[in-house]
Structure 1
Amino acid sequence: MKAYAALRHALLIATTLALTLPGLGHANARVGHVEAADQPLDKVLKLSAKQIAEKTDGRVEFSVFPSSQLGNARAMTEAVQLGMQDAVVVPAAFIGGFNPLVSILDIPYLIPTNDAQADALRKSEFGVALLDSFKEKGFEAVALWPGGFKHFTSNKKLEGIDDFKGQKFRIMDSRVLRAQFEAVGAQAMPIPFGDVYTSLQTGVVDGQENPLDSIARMKFHEVQKYLLLSAHGVVENVVLFSPTFWAGLSDQDKKIVRQVFVDNAVELARVKAENQKQALKEIETANLTINKLDDAQQQALREKMYPAARDAFLKQAGSQGQTLIDLYENVYSDITQ
């Protein structure tokens, strides 16, 4: 640990000196992500880079590397933590090992489907507190970016709460997601994303949960009979900067960079929504039975899933997690009234 701390300290000093020496006021950040080029996140990230360059008069520029060009999610996150990469936009589900508190985003029905309410939640004291929790882990977290709402698919009847009982669903390896399914009598099985199609096709699991664009891109609808439009969960991204890079920016430029990323969460949500509509059209060609939960059914499912998943989160997050949950529930109550 001492060697790690010394390395981080040395990198911080070196970067700060490099960016403050005469003639070296220009900062070019390398930012990576795992989505394919020209997908919604990549487009809005490049838009953000353009806006930041303009607003800082070219003092801060970004080079965007999509499709895991700089490594997978874990490798890029580690590189940012160590100051070897400047920034990463990474799904929260991939970085619970770096900051257990971010697993709060796995809780179903955490973020409202109403865009204005969702934006208010991200900008609230809850959102700020979640971002601030990354500081002690060696990151500067500047924004939460939407990645789309998740929906359920299955090869067995799936119309409402009672249909989950006895079914097997693929999940990412998460105690919170496991509790979500157990709350409605289903079994959860952690399976790597690349193996989901075959697992659905061969009956290892009955169903899965993902945003519509992920379902369409991975062709899950080809091996599923039912789609339940539930919008029960989110794939949320976190915009993380290396403290070594961040320390080299002026206070003015830090404010500009942070504000652009915060504001563009709205643009990303808009682009994602259009992407989801197109994905649904593609899924519909497979002749699945498609059902949609109404408001009453959504509330009933939330009342089952949310408490169980929240309690699973608190077991692993302790007192800090409780503080975050209290903040969230107060804000959620205010913005949804």
Structure 2
Amino acid sequence: MKQLVRNLAAAALLAMASPAAGSSSAFAAEYTAKIGHLESPQQSRHVHLEKVAKLVSERTGGAVEFQIFPQGQLGSQREMNEGVQLGILQATVAPAAFLGGFNPVVSVLDIPFLLPDDDADAQKIRDGAFGKAVCASFESRGVTCVDLWPNGKKNFTSNHPITSLDDFAGQKFRVMDSNILIEQFNALGASAIALPFGELYTSLQTGVVDGEENPLDTIQRMKFYEVQKHLVLSSHGAMEDVILFNTAWWDSLPEEYQTIITDAFQEVIPDLIAHKAESVAAALEEIKASGIDVRDMSAEEKAAFREKMYPAGRAAYVERAGKEGEDLIAIYEQEYAAATK
């Protein structure tokens, strides 16, 4: 937390020395929010946060200013989460997988094959009662969730063939430290090993693990394809962002400004999805050019994998999230059925 305070002090000096991101007014804003996140300035999250900042500034006549700090400039995601809770930081856009420690309910988003492949169907679930319930679960944790943002899907890679369900048996896969992710591999007869992200390349190279799961642009950016022989385009894991504001700061805004902000975050989602798709397509071309074996998982295969993996992830989630989790799953399953019928 001390590091976060130091980083914010440095950010304040930087903001005084240069125009703030998203500022379109020569006058001082009435409400200023510093928003921290982990991605680079070239990635979809940051690009579209800048778009939101511009829209908000324009539509409030410069009264609300967002200052965007990418790439962990304000600290680790945990530090930023705590900073938003305490009011030291006004907002963060965080991967859901990094939020389960203080809100187990949001870990529902770790469950494999949670969202449909079709972007429109997936957005119906985000926009519906399920997405609203996920956001509402943060209210008792001292922060205000404004919306969920899509940020891609995970795929499988391995140094051994992964052409069928049976091929996963006996293989070792790296996962983030999540019981849900561990159980999804146990359901396939594979072993899941929680390792720090920074150790993954070497662990794949030396055989500590056989494979991993990540979005294509991460696989490309981190060069994991250099130390993997097989890639399956499974899109099995949703990578969702959660937009969180400090509740006291949010409540200090006039209702009109709150509406402008929530509308702006919602408005850019189609462009966000398109930008991410372009990034993923470019990453896939580079990966294919390396000579790694790449194959698409068919719809029938996905259904078979979901039949194995979803119940295991669901059970692990409900065990951790309790009654809140059970209630949320009930909402989700009803909306998933409606969106995919």
TM-score past 0.5 threshold = yes
| AA in 1 matched with 2:267 | D
For each residue in 1:286-308, what CA deviation from the matched residue of structure 2 results, as whole angstroms up to 9, or x when unmatched? 11111111110110000000011
Q: Deviations over 1:237-295 (max 9, x none)?
A: 10000012102100111111112112323321111011000000111121111111111
> What do the CA deviations read for 1:82-139 (whole angstroms, capped 9, x no partner)?
0000000010101101100010000001111211111111100010011010000000
- The answer to whether the aligner puts 1:51 opposite 2:65 as a matched pair is no
Q: Which residue of 1 aligns with 2:212?
A: 208
CA distance in structure 2 between the partners assigned to 1:146 and 1:136 by the alignment: 24
Match of 1:40 among 24, 44, 47: 44
Structure 2 residue 314 is the aligned partner of structure 1 residue 310: yes
Map 1:1-337 to 2 at 5 A: 26-337=30-341
Is the Cα contact below 8 Å between 1:40 and 1:268 reproduced in 2? yes
CA distance in structure 2 between the aligned counterparts of 1:211 and 1:192, rounded to whole angstroms: 16
Conserved? CA contact 1:314–1:322, under 8 Å:
yes
How much has 1:319 moved relative to structure 2? 0.7
Shift of 1:324: 0.1
Q: Identity of paired residues, percent?
A: 48
For residues 276 and 45 of structure 2, the distance between their equivalents in structure 1, rounded to whole angstroms, comes to 8
- 1:24: Cα distance to partner? 8.5
- Structure 1 length as normaliser, TM-score? 0.92
RMSD: 1.1
Report the TM-score when normalising by structure 2.
0.91
What CA distance in whole angstroms lies between the structure 1 residues aligned with 2:35 and 2:53? 10
Q: Secondary structure at the match of 2:268?
A: helix
Instruction: Confirm or deny: 8 A CA contact 1:119 1:266 kept in the other structure.
Output: no
Mapped partners of 1:305, 1:267: distance in 2: 31
CA contact (8 A) 1:119 1:265 kept: no
In 1, Cα distance between the equivalents of 2:118 and 2:199? 33
5+ residue gaps, structure 1: 1-22
Between the aligned partners of 1:72 and 1:29, the Cα distance in structure 2 is 18
Tell me which amino acid in the other structure corresponds to 2:224.
Answer: F
Matching residue's letter, 1:60: V
Secondary structure of 1:189's partner?
strand
Structure 2 distance, partners of 1:119, 1:148, is 12
Instruction: Tell me the CA shift for residue 144 of structure 1.
Output: 0.6
- In structure 2, list runs of 5 or more residues that go unmatched: 1-26
Deviations 1:131-184 (A, max 9, x none): 010000000000111111100000001112111111000000000001100001
Distance 1:330 1:266 in 2: 24
CA contact (8 A) 1:160 1:293 kept: no
Partner of 1:3: none
Residue identity opposite 1:206 in structure 2: D
* Matches of 1:306 and 1:214, distance apart in 2: 24
Q: Quote the offset at 1:25 in angstroms.
A: 7.0
Match of 1:17 in 2: none
201-210 or 46-55: which moved more?
46-55
Counterparts of 2:28 and 2:245 in 1: how far apart (Å)?
A: 20
* Separation in structure 2 between the aligned mates of residue 55 and residue 159 of structure 1, nearest angstrom: 51
